[in-house]
Amino acid sequence: MPPGTAPSSRRRGRFATVPLRRDRRGWSPVEVAQNGEDPACVATCPAHAMHFGLLDDPTSTVSRLLAEREHYVLSPETGNQPNVFYLR
């Protein structure tokens, strides 16, 4: 499987792949967020249920949602610094 691809239900020969990213302009999630872009999974979510952004930027959508709405993380007892939050 080529780098930057993931298995897909679409068939092309024996295995099918889809790009994990829309493009290669930004490599890290931080670069993508700083460029004002969303990862492909966020950009294509038909329910708009996923959000992406910088937690350090108080004007980002993610920061505003976490400030305005009740949220939780999985396994808070581990003491890890989460980067995935679930809104209620």
Q: Same domain for 13 and 40? A: yes
Domain count, the chain: 2
User: What does each of the 88 residues of the chain score in pLDDT, given as a tens digit?
Assistant: 455 545 554 444 444 444 444 455 546 777 777 777 788 888 888 988 888 888 888 988 889 999 999 999 999 898 888 888 999 8
Non-local (6+) Cβ contacts of 73 within 8 A are 82, 84, 85, 86
The closest of 74, 71, 76 to 88, measured between CA atoms, is 71
Range of the domain at 20: 1-48
Q: Same domain for 32 and 69? A: no
Q: Same domain for 20 and 63? A: no
3-state secondary structure (DSSP) of residue 62:
helix
Q: How far apart are the first and last CA of the chain?
A: 37
What's the predicted TM-score (pTM) here? Answer: 0.58
Q: Measured between alpha carbons, how far is 45 from 56 in angstroms, rounded to an integer?
A: 24
Q: Same domain for 34 and 57? A: no
DSSP 23-54: -SS--SHHHHHHTT---HHHHT-TT-------
